[in-house]
Amino acid sequence: MQTDSDEQMIQEAYQALVDGYLNSNHRKKVEIIDRAFQFAKAAHAGVRRRSGEPYIMHPIAVATIVSQEIGLGSTSIAAALLHDVVEDTEFTVEDIEQHFGPKIAQLVDGLTKISGGIFGDKASVQAENFRKLLLTMSEDIRVVLIKMADRLHNMRTLGSMAPNKRYKIAGETLYIYAPLAHRLGLFPIKTELEDLSFKYEHPDIYKQISDKIKESQARRSEVYGDFSLPIKQKLDELGIKYEAKARLKSVYSIYNKMETKHLPFEEVYDLYAMRIVFECDDINKEKAMCWSIYSAITDLYQLHPTRTRDWIATPKANGYQALHLTVMGPDGNWIEVQIRSRRMDEIAEKGFAAHWKYKIGDGDEESELNAWLKTIKDILDNPEPSAIDFLNTLKLNLFASEIVVFTPKGELITLPAGATVLDLAFHLHSEIGIHCIAGKVNHKLMPLQTELKSGDQVEVLTSKTQMPLPEWENFLNTAKGRTRLRKSLRAMRQPVIVKGNEILEEWFASHGIEESNRVITKMLGVFHVANRDELCYQLGADEIVLGDFLIKPLKHVVDGKKQSSGILSKIPLIGRIVTSSSPETLSGELQQPEPVNTKQIYTLHTDAHGPNYIISSCCNPIPGDDVLGFVNDDGKVEIHSVDCPRAQVLKAGYGSRIVATEWAGVTDLFTAHVRIEGIDRRGILQEITQLISSLMGINIRKLFIEAEKEVFHADLWIEVNDKDVVRDLCDRTKKIQGVTRATRIL
């Protein structure tokens, strides 16, 4: 039942949308927007979101983001208002076309096809949905831009979701949507998606960093004022019309820097950058103005010699243009200055949507996008058999920086940073890649794995007798290269896999064993292979043989299946993660754990039978860490740190098997890695070990120490009960004379 207050809230939100649109540069087509609003409002009447507000508030919010934060026009706004109508009500795409025409109907149809987030509950569905999302780009990129707005609003309202759903949605957002926003040039949206994902995965750390940012606000403002005043005076003297502002680093990027550099918040000095946006009506004069502002700044401050970035002469593949320089500020710290024209700033803020507004000549602004979409299509046409491999391959392409190399004829080729000679060969053509033997880089003969740098001139050398090898994958750093290599290897392996499949089926038939997921999983564990194709390949290549030693354990699995249909039988084999099995599951009985309800919080504890969880070796979390659970193929709960790289993949690809967890009653000891650094002096190691072993009673399992001149580095692996013990140890160690840093390494 809709109340008067609901109606007032809806009308105020809609009016704010219309007012924002009327203030834009788009042609004023309010009538189509109003009709779409009335249609969607009637279609969603009486329905509420999980947060309790009327459902129509979500389409209005998405349309507002589409209009005011991405900068799209009336067609996209109308499609955003209607984006859930076909999915959630009885109306069809044909109804939309009848009322609003083919363009809006096409956008709504595209959004409906990729509804429910990128990922479903099964691995094969995840990959297929993501393929659909990317294929719509080549038809009309506005579908993806509207979808990005939809995800942004869902993230802004994620607090009303259940904990396991929050992990799943935050995980896939950080893993796929944020890189996609980055690739489309939607930098503010990318930053907000990262921050919101981080906020829901690490609420305590997010609050700590946010509080410290607020506490240091006055000091930052003072430093920025001292730094920016001379620059503003200089630009005023030159008669340049400009806007100058401080751009604060996001909470997520500050956290990343703290983690990767092992720094406390107080030592992250580049918390902000200065951004100068100048007015220029003539696009041909922008470059000269950028360099004149650069010259004015370097007259005032000392330039960092290696941190100038010219994104004007060679824009990023997502269209980003700017001139970046780093100079020494008055407080002795390095400060980055970003110089952009108003046009460049709009493109940086609103991505390809702003490109259309500034489209000139033959449409060069869209050529980079089309080239990137062509690469994406290349991956879609040759998909990985595993959903996780497919997503990982795309991730390579989504979040890559670019380099520019030249062919011997002077043709310019843009490649992701880290690309090798072999990557370039596959970029040119699959046939060139599979027959590549070496490269001439700047006229010198270099091997396949040579990493290329911007400005290199590269000639690819081939031989008809050369054939691709599996180890080549280690030489490739681009999505296109890996996709094309894997396709070639699959084509070569296929006849062997077919032969191995025949051997496997004949063996099953001759021993009266029925093939099933459980049986195949058992065999994968016995032979230590990742999937069925690899098993068949090794059989076909005579690398392994099937013997009588398998009959008893496999028949036991078949008999066990008749008694219990465990979690293994419900998970599709294609795209599955095969986790390491304990010895008893390889040779003895399969232990069937209690089924896990992923909708409830799973309590981690130790009882007479031991822990009810498995600690993952990839991140080794300890009690007190922010962790989540993953229900593995044996139905057991694996514990990962929330931001463990492996966990990112699991959240993105296997969301339905993620469970929210809490520590309670855990009595085990856990291994933690601590790094200590400082000024070397006689007896300092004895003081450190005495504090840890004698005074704190902590067992040191391993110790590595190295001193170079006056500085020492020590790595210790200690046994602790929880995170607080490690924090206390680090705090007390830092009080020892000469110790400058003590931190846990994750």
Read off the pLDDT band of 121 (50, 70, 90): very low
Instruction: Give the pLDDT score at 379.
Output: 57
Higher per-residue confidence, 125 vs 652: 652
Q: What is the model's pLDDT at position 578?
A: 39
Going through 223-333 in order, the beta strands assigned E by DSSP cover: 242-248, 272-278, 309-310, 323-328
Query: Which residue, 188, 192, 149, is CA-closest to 170?
Result: 192
Active-site residue (options: 7, 12, 19, 87): 87
Q: Give the model's pLDDT for residue 459.
A: 92
Predicted pLDDT at 587 = 39
Residue 652 has pLDDT above 80, yes or no: no
- pLDDT at position 126 is 47
Q: How confident is the model at residue 369 (pLDDT cuts 50, 70, 90)?
A: low
Q: What is the pLDDT of residue 358?
A: 43
* More reliable by pLDDT, 88 or 364: 88
What mean pLDDT is predicted for residues 347-353?
73
Place of tokens 């979390």: 621
Q: Is the pLDDT of residue 334 over 60?
A: yes
Task: Give the per-residue pLDDT at 664.
Answer: 83
For the stretch 33-57, pLDDT in tens is 999 999 999 988 888 888 788 899 9
Q: Which residues pair with 324 in a beta bridge?
A: 309, 338
Q: What is the pLDDT of residue 372?
A: 55
Task: Spot the catalytic one: 6, 53, 88, 97.
Answer: 88
Q: Cα separation of 209 and 623, whole Å?
A: 21
Model pTM above 0.75: no
Of the candidates 327, 322, 319, which has an alpha carbon nearest to the alpha carbon of residue 302?
327
Average pLDDT over residues 382-390: 57
| Tokens coding 160 | 């009303």
**What does the pLDDT average to over 606-617?**
82
Q: How confident is the model at residue 564, as a pLDDT?
A: 42
Vertex 60 angle, CA 56 and 63, to 5°: 140
Banded model confidence at residue 400, pLDDT cuts 50, 70, 90: low
Listed in sequence order, the residues at least 6 apart from 668 whose beta carbon sits closer than 8 Å to its beta carbon are 606, 611
pLDDT above 70: residue 507: yes
Tens digit of pLDDT for each residue in 402-412? 777 888 887 77
Core vs surface per residue 38-77: b (16+ CB within 10 A) or e: ebbbebbeeeeeeeebbbbbbbbbbbbbbbbbbbbbbbbb
Instruction: Give the Cα separation of 402 and 419 in Å (integer).
Output: 9
Specify the pLDDT at position 398.
58
pLDDT at 124 over 50: no
Which pLDDT score, from 0 to 100, does residue 370 have? 58
Q: How far is CA 464 from CA 411, 429, 432, 493, 495, in A?
A: 25, 14, 10, 19, 22
Answer whether residue 522 shows pLDDT above 70: yes
Q: What is the pLDDT of residue 324?
A: 93
Residue 615 has pLDDT above 90, yes or no: no
For 219, residues 6+ apart whose C-beta sits below 8 A from its C-beta are none
pLDDT of 566 > 60? The answer is no
Query: Is 384 labeled as catalytic in the residue annotation?
Result: no
Residue with the larger pLDDT of the pair 603 and 590: 603
Could you tell me the pLDDT band of residue 589, with boundaries at 50, 70 and 90? Answer: very low
The larger pLDDT score, comparing residue 150 to residue 349, is at: 150
Residue owning tokens 């509207």? 146
Residues 382-396: what's their mean pLDDT?
A: 58
Mean local confidence (pLDDT), 90-106: 89
With a cut of 50, say whether residue 99 has pLDDT above it.
yes
- What tens digit of pLDDT does each residue of 229-284 get? 999 999 999 999 999 988 888 899 888 888 877 778 877 777 788 999 999 988 88
Mean pLDDT, residues 72-84: 90
Residue 44 CA, chain-centre distance (Å), reads 33
Percent of the chain with pLDDT over 70: 83
pLDDT in tens, 435-469: 999 999 988 899 999 999 877 889 999 998 888 98
Residue 109 phi/psi, 5-degree rounding, is -60, -45
Q: Which two tokens stand for residue 614?
A: 């498995």
Round to whole Å and give the CA distance between 203 and 544. 50
| pLDDT value at residue 276 | 95
For residue 376, what are its two tokens? 């994406």
Q: Residues near 566 by Cβ (< 8 Å), separated by ≥ 6?
A: 518, 590, 592, 635
For residue 119, the model assigns a pLDDT of 37
Q: Which of 105-114, 177-186, 349-358, 473-482 has the highest mean pLDDT?
A: 473-482
Q: Is the pLDDT of residue 481 over 70?
A: yes
Q: How far is CA 490 from the centre of its chain?
A: 27
β-strand partners of 483: none
pLDDT at 581: 38
According to the model, what pLDDT value does residue 232 have? Answer: 94
Whether 88 is catalytic is yes
Q: In angstroms, rounded to a whole number, what is the distance separating the alpha carbons of residues 70 and 579?
A: 42
Q: How much is the mean pLDDT over the chain?
A: 81
CB 489 within 8 Å of CB 470: yes
Give the separation between CA 692 and CA 694, rounded to whole angstroms. 6
Residue 415, beta-bridge partner list: 403
Q: What percent of the chain has pLDDT over 90?
A: 22
